[in-house]
């Protein structure tokens, strides 16, 4: 049952922890603009990693795991898809109703959860179609 918990709930929780001030205020009150590290590239350009970008990268890695999980064909996959849909709905409701969620990082996380829902259903339908044997 624990494997049915959608992993994209983690970025949702982390973002809300940031809204609550767990990660500090950041520049101009934006905790997601806080620079974690930066270094100069060989080209002379400067690469800087912010807290918001690192959260998006973590969510993309979790999306990969979720898509791999969606290839399972069992009753647990139905529960997993349903819970992933609930996570997307939570993102959408918060995006529409919470002022602090009107942020590009949150919007990107919400789109990642939408891709999770759509890819999960698509992959499951494709995989289950191969399990049907006629005759």
Distance CA 129, CA 123 (A): 10
pLDDT in tens, 2-47: 677 899 999 999 999 999 999 888 888 899 999 999 999 999 999 9
CA dist list (Å): 36 to 23, 48, 134: 12, 7, 56
User: In whole numbers, what is the pLDDT of the chain averaged over residues?
Assistant: 88
Q: What span, in angstroms and rounded, lies between the C-alpha atoms of 77 and 40?
A: 45
pLDDT, one tens digit per residue, over 59-86 is 999 999 998 888 776 666 778 889 999 9
The single-letter DSSP state of residue 83 is H
Query: Is residue 37 classed exposed, middle or buried when 0-12, 13-18 and 19+ CB atoms within 10 A define those classes?
Result: exposed
Backbone φ, ψ for residue 64 (5° rounding): -60, -45
Domains of the chain by residue range = 8-129
């Amino acid at each position: 049952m624990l494997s049915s918990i959608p992993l994209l709930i983690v970025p949702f929780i982390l973002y809300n922890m940031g809204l609550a001030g767990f990660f500090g205020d950041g520049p101009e009150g934006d905790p997601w603009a806080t620079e974690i590290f930066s270094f100069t590239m060989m080209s002379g350009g400067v690469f800087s990693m912010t807290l918001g970008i690192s959260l998006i990268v973590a969510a993309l890695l979790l999306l990969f795991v979720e898509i791999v999980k969606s290839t399972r064909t069992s009753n647990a996959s139905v529960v997993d898809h349903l819970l992933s849909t609930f996570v997307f709905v939570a993102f959408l409701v918060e995006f529409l109703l919470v002022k602090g969620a009107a942020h590009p990082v949150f919007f990107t996380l919400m789109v990642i959860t939408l891709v999770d829902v759509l890819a999960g259903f698509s992959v499951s339908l494709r995989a289950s179609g191969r399990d049907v044997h006629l005759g």
